[in-house]
Amino acid sequence: MSYFKYTLVVLCYCSFLSVSAQMNSENLKIISTKKSVFKNLQLIPIKANTAYKKAYQNIGKYDNLKKAIESGKIEINDSGSVNTLIAINNSNVNVYIIAGEVVKGGKQDRLVAEDVVIAPGETKNIPAFCVEQNRWQQKESGNNFNGYFNVTSQNVRKAALVEKNQLKVWANVAETTNKNQASSSTGTYAELAKSKTYTKDLNSYLNYFKGKFINKSSTVGVIAVSGNKVIGCDIFATHDLFKNAYQGLLHSYITEAITNGSKPILSNAEVSKYYEKFMKIEAEQDKKLEGKGTVFRHKNKKLHLTSF
């Protein structure tokens, strides 16, 4: 084979691999199963084909925020501005933070407003929103946020990530805490942990869902359904990224289902229609997700797609 023909074959193969490994419905299939329904929530796994998994197999290792805070690998500090936090990665591993995660401390508890990767040794500003409206003073931790409180409910998360509206964040925090008998003097979202009715219900969902999907290496995301609508969809580049985020996202989906949901009745056809709208043609993905979700890219690679 001549050099020219060999080069052409290689280029065609690389082009084919690039096309075949896109984040679209050709490579990522939704698998509906009745076993993933519990009370007000249905979770439908999204599975990647071989080409997709190969395309992302070398993106590296990432720790999630919960593990990084609890192990002291990352410091989250108050910048003095409500909408900015300062993250310092003291480890040798990337820390991947997803939008909606709540950190406790500083002058008021905050919600991370966008997905962000903090590289080893890096100090980076993180966009944030307040989820504790009536406090503006330090606690024992000073400027440090040394407490972690999972991912907020989907309505709070959407108000931050998509609508980027502090007033809507506060309104949805109040709705979620009030409906779950978790009101407090400072209005903090973290008060949910003190509600006996909420935690009892939450734990019943967690016991059902916590072990599902995470041991299947082809699973890279889920669609969450409650009542007659999809309440969220999260898709990741790899199974490991999905596994890292799964427990936090479970809290988000479950809290939304408990607070505003009902028995899932959406048909498979309706779920497919929702999914295909932004997954069928990748070139149109960002446009289709406007006002409904986002795609997070890191080093020119898509790591996470979120849709509400």
One digit per residue, the tens of pLDDT, for the chain of length 308 reads 554 444 434 344 343 344 446 899 999 999 877 679 999 999 999 999 999 999 999 999 999 999 999 999 999 999 989 999 999 999 999 999 999 999 999 999 999 999 999 999 999 999 999 999 999 888 776 789 999 999 999 999 999 999 999 999 999 999 999 999 999 999 999 999 999 999 999 999 999 999 999 999 999 999 999 999 999 999 999 999 999 999 999 999 999 999 999 999 999 999 999 999 999 999 999 999 999 999 999 999 999 999 99
Q: What is the predicted pLDDT for the residue at 21?
A: 64
- Give the closest residue to 149 by CA, choosing from 256, 41, 247: 247
Between strands 101-104 and 147-151, the pairing is antiparallel
Rounded CA-CA distance 111/213 in Å is: 26
CB 83 within 8 A of CB 127: yes
Rounded CA-CA distance 196/153 in Å is: 18
Q: What is the predicted pLDDT for the residue at 1?
A: 53
Calculate ∠ Cα 188-258-157, nearest 5°.
50
CB 203 within 8 A of CB 255: no
Mapped onto helix, strand or coil, the DSSP state of residue 193 is helix
Q: What is the predicted pLDDT for the residue at 7?
A: 41
Beta-bridge partner residues of 126 = 85
